């Protein structure tokens, strides 16, 4: 319960983007969320504060049911908090109209899920293009099609999927599917990447590959990342670890400390 | 854009949904076939009715008619001359047609219609319906030497279904007269030797000649009233046969004639009065052109008196509307006017019952009718279009079509519920995909759009397939009929009932468009509910769905 200290902990990468804007990339203030289950209601988040600086890579740790995914969904505008606020680059986004939230989700936030969530009817290439297909109407699509395709190609090749572009998800391995999902999350050039246990369904080798990819994106592209995991070793790849315990944030600090704590 | 792509992918990968539109396809195909066949029947019927009735019928309420058709025609021309293409006067009276078949008198109740042979063909399709090719060009009430069609000139089938017509005309008449002469001589010989009562039985039931067309006309030396049809009738000393009831009622004046060389006033009865179709599809005739018949009809006076006369059949009329073919008998108008006493003795002005008016193409008959109704008092005249005349029949056909269409649309509506159920299941199955799309920023309306578009696509596919199948069936319906008859051995379509040799079809593009439109609307309409459900799915719950 050391929210104030958490706020202070920006690192040097905060200024990588070089925008000079003081507002953090994304912040969550006093967010509460409860679900009605059966007779009573279940409080999942009880006033969570979180601050993601520009270019920062945060890992959110916690046991099953601790509300990690819920927090990520609130940040990804897939759900609305009961109270509290969510800000993106200083602007409050949780109270926007649904069409503007749809727009933000499409343009500014990339999401990666544990079970990949690719569309089975589409090829790897088309899955990557999906956010752009959602963004553009028919006419715009015709205008931007070649641009979009080259962007998708570039991402797939970067993730070593150049030869798998026209395969459907069913023909891909788990690691490949997750790389397609990351490419999809990045194709629209989002400001934030939200990853919900991205290695949860993968073997250790594939998982390590995905983590390398995320790390590289963070270091090389300065992408701000929030990753949910319950694995300490994976959390250690981040800049900072945040632990959720019974709906509240516990700041753990630098990964090295975290490893010690976990040990 | 994603909506289009996903619709297309779903269309190509979800075969179960295509199964759901099979019912739409069948419904559309059935509707197209039924409507085309019904429209074909209706059009065929209307064109036959219209062929018999002219565009407008101007008639008198009175059986005696109105005098001076010329003056009335001039009046009609004066008000609507620009719209009128042709006019002809007719006299129509109810009458009894009597003829003898193998010694038995057959009586038919008919409409006896006096027509002007020069102008009648101008107002309708009358000419087309005759059995002699020359009569089809220009009707003559003189018996032809031969050359009557032995097949149905209005069908494409050239096989002779009417072998008896081979002989029709003067050859038939001469043979008959010759046969009667032989009979008469035999009878006279017998009469001289035996008791007179035996003779009567022989006359009524002659033992020879089994053919339906060789009925024995009793020994009728026809007696003409002055100036009828024959100018060079030969005087004869033959005595009239005593078993002809009509001769009793007729004044025995004037000359007798030689029936092998002369005829009575020519008439054209409907073919249904004279023939029947046997099981093999061959038309059998009770009487033929060349035979004489007797007609009893009322005079124009008050009260009407029945008069009878003998006429010679010169052709048959076949409109293929059994109501007309078994009811109408056409006769020269001048003869009928004279026999009915419709000619004013002093002035020579004749009365007519009706004036048939043919309008120029594109002229609205209702307008002309209303104009004429304003001029001619309704107490004396009735003006009606051919549709008015056959109003109940045409209305019944329209009604039948409307009811059928409602019932068939119900079938497509049932198909709509099938689509709804299957779509609902697809939405459930696709719940996670919907969540994914929402996480990628798809709006609720966009997600709904996918399923509405999918419904539209399925509707178009179903209706398109239905259109193709329906048109294929419609255009080949007669071959299909033959195939079905061959397979089942059952007669699907009996031409002797319908008087059409082929099932007539008309594909009306307007109707077809409506059917397609309706089917697509139903398909889209039944995807609305699943689409709304898809749009309302909560993204988080949808993503968790397995």
Q: pLDDT digits over B50-80, tens only?
A: 777 788 888 888 888 888 888 888 888 888 8
Q: Are residues B425 and B335 in the same domain?
A: no
The first and second tokens of residue B240, run together, are 């009239």
* Phi, psi (deg, nearest 5) at residue B59: -135, 165
Of B1, B443, B539, the CB nearest to A133: B1
Q: Are residues B424 and B318 in the same domain?
A: no
Residue B432 at interface with chain A, using a CB cutoff of 8 Å: yes
pLDDT at B491 over 80: no
Tell me if B1 and A130 make a contact (CB, 8 A cut-off): no
Is there a domain that residue B149 lies in? Answer: yes
Tell me if A113 and B543 make a contact (CB, 8 A cut-off): yes
Q: Are residues B239 and B330 in the same domain?
A: yes
Number of CB pairs < 8 Å for A and B? 73
Q: Are residues B409 and B330 in the same domain?
A: no
pLDDT at B216: 45
Mean pLDDT of all residues in B485-509: 76
End residue of a domain, out of B349, B366, B384: B349
Residue B4 at interface with chain A, using a CB cutoff of 8 Å: yes
Q: Are residues B107 and B41 in the same domain?
A: no
More confident residue, B514 or B390: B514
What region, left, alpha or beta, does residue B441 occupy, with left being phi > 0 and alpha being psi -120 to 50 degrees? left
Is there a domain that residue B523 lies in? Answer: yes
Tell me if B441 and A111 make a contact (CB, 8 A cut-off): no
* Chain B environment of A137 (Cβ under 8 Å): 1
Mean pLDDT, chain A, integer: 83
ipTM confidence score: 0.86
Q: Are residues B146 and B270 in the same domain?
A: yes
Query: What's the CA dihedral at B413, B415, B418, B423 to 10 degrees?
Result: -90
Q: Are residues B150 and B18 in the same domain?
A: no
Q: What percent of chain B has pLDDT over 90?
A: 16
What sign does the CA torsion over A167, A169, A170, A176 have?
A: positive
Tell me if B540 and A78 make a contact (CB, 8 A cut-off): yes
* Chain B environment of A76 (Cβ under 8 Å): 439
pLDDT digits (tens, 9 = 90+) for A179-190: 999 999 999 999
pLDDT at B330 over 80: yes
Query: In a mutagenesis test of the A interface, which of B441, B442, B546 is the best target, namely the one with the most A β-carbons within 10 Å?
Result: B441
Q: Are residues B402 and B343 in the same domain?
A: no
Domain ranges, residue B452: 2-48+393-544
pLDDT at A2 over 60: no
CA–CA distances in Å: residue A247 to residues A47, A74, A254, B296, B441: 7, 13, 21, 111, 27
Is there a domain that residue B64 lies in? Answer: no
What is the distance in angstroms between the CA of the first residue and the CA of the last residue of chain A? 21
pLDDT at B351 over 90: no
User: Under a CB-based contact definition with an 8 Å cutoff, are residues B545 and B432 in contact?
Assistant: yes
Task: Give CA–CA dist A256/A233, Å, rounded.
Answer: 10
Q: Are residues B299 and B430 in the same domain?
A: no
* Chain A environment of B438 (Cβ under 8 Å): 78, 102, 105
Lowest mean pLDDT among A225-234, B33-42, B234-243: B234-243
Residue B429 at interface with chain A, using a CB cutoff of 8 Å: no
pLDDT digits (tens, 9 = 90+) for B77-90: 888 878 888 888 88
In this prediction, residue B501 has a pLDDT band, given cuts at 50, 70 and 90, of: low
Is there a domain that residue B250 lies in? Answer: yes
CA distance A77 to chain B (A): 8
pLDDT at B497 over 70: no
Is there a domain that residue B202 lies in? Answer: yes
Of A102, A113, A122, the CB nearest to B442: A102
CA nearest to B445 within chain A: A99
pLDDT at B229 over 70: no
Buried b (16+ CB within 10 A) or exposed e, B284-300: ebbbbbbbbbbbbbbbb
Tell me if B441 and A78 make a contact (CB, 8 A cut-off): no
Tell me if B439 and A117 make a contact (CB, 8 A cut-off): yes
Domains and CATH numbers, chain A: 3-262 (3.40.50.300)
Is there a domain that residue B481 lies in? Answer: yes
pLDDT at B301 over 50: yes
Tell me if A133 and B9 make a contact (CB, 8 A cut-off): no
pLDDT at A255: 60
Residue B491 at interface with chain A, using a CB cutoff of 8 Å: no
What is the distance in angstroms between the CA of the first residue and the CA of the last residue of chain B? 26
* Structural domain total, chain B: 2
pLDDT digits (tens, 9 = 90+) for A74-109: 999 999 999 999 999 989 998 999 899 999 999 999
* Chain B environment of A78 (Cβ under 8 Å): 438-439, 539-540, 543
Q: Are residues B239 and B136 in the same domain?
A: yes
pLDDT digits (tens, 9 = 90+) for B509-536: 999 999 999 999 999 999 999 999 999 9
pLDDT digits (tens, 9 = 90+) for B88-116: 888 888 999 999 888 788 899 999 999 88
* Chain A environment of B13 (Cβ under 8 Å): 121
Residue B443 at interface with chain A, using a CB cutoff of 8 Å: yes
Contacts of B449 (CB under 8 A, 6+ apart): B3, B531
End residue of a domain, out of B319, B349, B379: B349
pLDDT digits (tens, 9 = 90+) for B174-228: 888 888 889 888 888 888 887 655 545 555 444 444 444 444 444 444 444 443 4
Q: Are residues B344 and B399 in the same domain?
A: no
- Residue B60: half-sphere exposure toward Cβ, Cα within 13 Å: 19
Report B:6-65 residues touching A (Cβ under 8 A): 6, 9-10, 13
Sheet (strand A57-62) strand order:
A109-112, A192-196, A224-229, A57-62, A240-245, A248-253
User: Under a CB-based contact definition with an 8 Å cutoff, are residues B241 and B218 in contact?
Assistant: yes
pLDDT at A168: 92
End residue of a domain, out of B349, B382, B408: B349
To 10 degrees, what angle do helices B528-536 and B391-429 make? Answer: 20
pLDDT digits (tens, 9 = 90+) for A122-177: 899 999 999 999 998 888 889 999 999 999 999 999 888 989 999 999 999 998 99
Task: Give CA–CA dist A228/A52, Å, rounded.
Answer: 13
Task: Give CA–CA dist B307/A71, Å, rounded.
Answer: 109
Tell me if B543 and A117 make a contact (CB, 8 A cut-off): yes
Is there a domain that residue B530 lies in? Answer: yes
Task: Tell me the β-bridge partners of B352.
Answer: B66
In this prediction, residue B495 has a pLDDT band, given cuts at 50, 70 and 90, of: low
In this prediction, residue A261 has a pLDDT band, given cuts at 50, 70 and 90, of: very low
pLDDT at B6: 82
pLDDT at A27: 92
* Chain A environment of B543 (Cβ under 8 Å): 78, 113, 117
Is there a domain that residue B71 lies in? Answer: no
Lowest mean pLDDT among A6-10, A235-239, B163-167, B392-396: A6-10
Q: Which residues of A touch B (CB under 8 A)?
A: 73, 76, 78-79, 98-99, 102-107, 111, 113, 117-122, 126, 130-131, 133-138, 140-141, 184
* Chain A environment of B10 (Cβ under 8 Å): 121
More confident residue, A242 or B17: A242
pLDDT digits (tens, 9 = 90+) for B256-300: 677 888 888 999 999 888 888 777 777 888 888 888 899 999 988
Q: Are residues B8 and B106 in the same domain?
A: no
pTM over 0.80: no
pLDDT at B79: 84
pLDDT at B499: 57
The alpha carbon of residue B76 and the mean position of all alpha carbons in its chain are separated, in whole angstroms, by 29
């Amino acid at each position: 319960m050391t929210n104030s200290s958490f706020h202070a902990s920006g690192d040097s990468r905060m200024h990588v983007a070089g925008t000079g804007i003081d507002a953090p990339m994304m912040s969550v203030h006093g967010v509460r969320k409860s679900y009605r289950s059966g007779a009573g209601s279940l409080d999942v988040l009880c006033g969570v504060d979180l601050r993601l600086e520009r270019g920062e890579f945060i890992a959110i740790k916690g046991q099953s049911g601790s509300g990690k995914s819920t927090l990520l969904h609130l940040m990804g505008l897939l759900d609305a908090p009961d109270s509290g606020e969510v800000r993106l680059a200083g602007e409050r986004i949780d109270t926007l109209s649904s069409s503007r939230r749809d727009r933000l989700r499409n343009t500014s936030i990339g999401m990666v899920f544990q079970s990949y969530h690719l569309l089975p009817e589409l090829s790897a290439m088309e899955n990557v293009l999906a956010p752009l297909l959602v963004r553009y109407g028919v006419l715009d699509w015709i205008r931007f099609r070649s641009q979009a395709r080259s962007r998708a190609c570039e991402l797939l090749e970067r993730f070593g999927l150049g030869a798998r572009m026209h395969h459907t998800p069913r023909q891909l391995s788990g690691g490949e599917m997750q790389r397609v999902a990351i490419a999809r999350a990045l194709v629209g050039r989002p400001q934030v990447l939200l990853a919900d246990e991205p290695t949860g369904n993968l073997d250790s080798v594939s998982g390590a590959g995905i983590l390398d990819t995320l790390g590289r994106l963070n270091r090389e592209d300065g992408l701000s990342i929030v990753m949910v995991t319950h694995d300490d070793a994976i959390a250690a790849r981040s800049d900072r670890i945040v632990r959720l315990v019974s709906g509240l944030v516990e700041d753990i600090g630098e990964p090295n400390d975290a490893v010690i704590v976990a040990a | 854009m994603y909506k289009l792509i996903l619709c297309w992918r779903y269309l190509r990968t979800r075969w179960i949904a295509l199964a759901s539109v099979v019912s739409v396809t069948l419904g559309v195909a059935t509707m197209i076939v039924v409507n085309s066949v019904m429209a074909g029947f209706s059009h065929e019927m209307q064109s036959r009715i219209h062929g018999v009735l002219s565009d407008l019928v101007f008639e008198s309420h009175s059986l005696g008619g109105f005098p001076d058709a010329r003056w009335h025609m001039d009046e009609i021309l004066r008000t609507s001359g620009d719209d009128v293409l042709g006019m002809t006067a007719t006299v129509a009276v109810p009458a009894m047609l009597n003829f003898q078949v193998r010694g038995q008198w057959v009586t038919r109740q008919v409409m006896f219609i006096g027509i002007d042979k020069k102008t009648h063909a101008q107002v309708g399709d009358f000419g087309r319906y005759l059995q002699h090719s020359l009569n089809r060009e220009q009707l003559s009430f003189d018996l032809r030497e031969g050359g009557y069609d032995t097949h149905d000139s209005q069908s494409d089938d050239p096989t002779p279904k009417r072998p008896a017509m081979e002989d029709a005309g003067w050859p038939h008449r001469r043979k008959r007269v010759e046969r009667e002469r032989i009979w008469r001589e035999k009878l006279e010989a017998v009469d001289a030797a035996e008791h007179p009562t035996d003779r009567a039985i022989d006359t009524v039931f002659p033992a020879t000649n089994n053919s339906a067309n060789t009925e024995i006309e009793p020994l009728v030396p026809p007696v003409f009233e002055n100036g009828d049809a024959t100018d060079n009738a030969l005087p004869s000393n033959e005595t009239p046969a005593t078993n002809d009831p009509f001769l009793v009622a007729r004044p025995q004046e004037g000359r007798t004639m030689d029936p092998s060389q002369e005829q009575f006033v020519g008439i054209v009865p409907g073919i249904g009065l004279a023939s029947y179709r046997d099981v093999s599809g061959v038309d059998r005739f009770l009487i033929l052109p060349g035979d004489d018949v007797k007609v009893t009809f009322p005079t124009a006076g008050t009260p009407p008196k029945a008069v009878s006369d003998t006429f010679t059949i010169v052709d048959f009329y076949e409109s293929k509307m059994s109501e007309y073919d078994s009811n109408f008998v056409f006769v020269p108008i001048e003869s009928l006017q004279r026999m009915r006493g419709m000619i004013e003795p002093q002035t020579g002005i004749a009365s007519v019952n009706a004036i048939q008016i043919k309008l120029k193409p594109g002229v609205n008959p209702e307008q002309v009718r209303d104009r004429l109704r304003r001029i001619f008092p309704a107490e004396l005249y009735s003006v009606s279009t051919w549709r008015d005349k056959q109003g109940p029949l045409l209305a019944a056909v329209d009604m039948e079509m409307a009811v059928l269409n409602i019932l068939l649309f119900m079938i497509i509506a049932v198909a709509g519920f099938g689509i709804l159920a299957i779509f609902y299941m697809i939405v459930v199955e696709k719940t996670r995909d919907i969540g994914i799309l929402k996480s990628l920023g798809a709006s609720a309306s966009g997600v709904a759009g996918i399923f509405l578009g999918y419904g539209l696509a399925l509707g178009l596919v179903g209706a398109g397939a239905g259109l193709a199948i329906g048109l294929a069936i419609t255009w080949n319906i007669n071959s299909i009929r033959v195939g079905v008859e061959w397979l089942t051995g059952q007669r699907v379509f009996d031409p002797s009932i319908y008087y059409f040799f082929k099932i007539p079809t008309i594909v009306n593009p307007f109707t077809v468009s409506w059917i397609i439109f309706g089917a697509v609307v139903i398909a889209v309409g039944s995807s609305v509910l699943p689409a709304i459900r898809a749009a309302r799915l909560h993204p988080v719950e949808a993503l968790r769905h397995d």
